[in-house]
Structure 1
């Protein structure tokens, strides 16, 4: 009985961690690229839309904005690297086709059947998008920030200096979205 416990402890304490480390290092060595964890955020620079969900090369991120932890990025920028971004967009938050607004929730904070029925119709209006674009050069990783722009364009910001240039001292109110778009060089007319 004692011998069985010793073997079990050896397995859990020494052998499994070694196998895990071997497995992780094997994964890293096959790609030859050292990966690091970084924060991630989603910024929507298009008024009157909501980004519902996002994935960055298969790494799921939230929609609604703010920083999300974490994504894996190459520690050093890789020339010629491309990334696929997929997202779901709500093109008309709070309103269904024909201008039908969301019914109220119940007074106790639960959703009513009318709201759930409305939401089924509303979610059918969501649009799905996908784009494969180059990863911009970065020297120092700030975080991964995906900025959603008009015409279903996406800007990737990873470099610390670029993040400061884009997001530093932004105005509030109605000037917020146009200023982000201006700093990113976005054309106002979709083609």
Structure 2
């Protein structure tokens, strides 16, 4: 009889312990979420690489974006006032510039170096507008090296999206 009672007590205790752990786990949500990073290039330059708070990569051709996502940045589960992002990128102002190739179709190193000497590197800190549900980190590259970032779960084509930029923006002569 004692063995049966001990066994029932152990099963009952294990059941209660499991329930407590389950409830505790459900309540302990992380304050931060991983978020894919995607870029939108509204300019005639190429974005060779980008990062948001150190996460990102990829390259975005002129007047392109949204198709590829890189994993992962981090955003707060709930928006907080003063939320900012550090955006870094490398820009090729002449993405269609000619670069000599050798007989095997490989870029000529010296000509490539000449072309790459015109690349520029940038870094800005931008505000992230209020969001209700955290989602993808969307980075918009605008003329004159301006950048906007959103971290919501709203698609770019949705009227509620905080930015409404045409994919092909006019670039001023002087910034």
> What TM-score range do you get, normalising by the shorter chain?
0.5 to 0.7
Q: Which runs of 5+ in 1 are unaligned?
A: 1-32, 96-100, 169-174, 182-186
Kept in 1, the 8 Å contact 2:133–2:153? The answer is: yes
Instruction: Find out whether 1:122 has 2:115 as its counterpart.
Output: yes
Deviations 1:147-173 (A, max 9, x none): 10101011112223363337x9xxxxx
Aligned pair count? 136
132, 135, 158: which one aligns with 1:139:
132
Name the CA shift for 1:79/1:105 in 2 (closer, same or farther; >3 Å). farther
Distance 2:131 2:41 in 1: 22
Deviations 1:72-106 (A, max 9, x none): 111111111222111110011132xxxxx212354
Distance 1:159 1:188 in 2: 30
Give secondary structure in 2 for the equivalent of 1:88.
Answer: strand
148, 168, 174: which one aligns with 1:177:
168
Question: In the alignment, what sits opposite 1:88?
Answer: 90
Question: In the alignment, what sits opposite 2:146?
Answer: 153
User: Which one has a bigger Cα radius of gyration?
Assistant: 2
Name the CA shift for 1:136/1:148 in 2 (closer, same or farther; >3 Å). same
Distance 1:103 1:189 in 2: 29
15, 40, 43: which one aligns with 1:43:
40
Question: In the alignment, what sits opposite 1:56?
Answer: 52
Distance 1:189 1:142 in 2: 36
TM-score in terms of structure 1 length: 0.61
Q: Which runs of 5+ in 2 are unaligned?
A: 1-29
Q: Which has the higher helix share?
A: 1
Q: Over the residues paired in the alignment, what is the CA RMSD in angstroms? A: 2.8
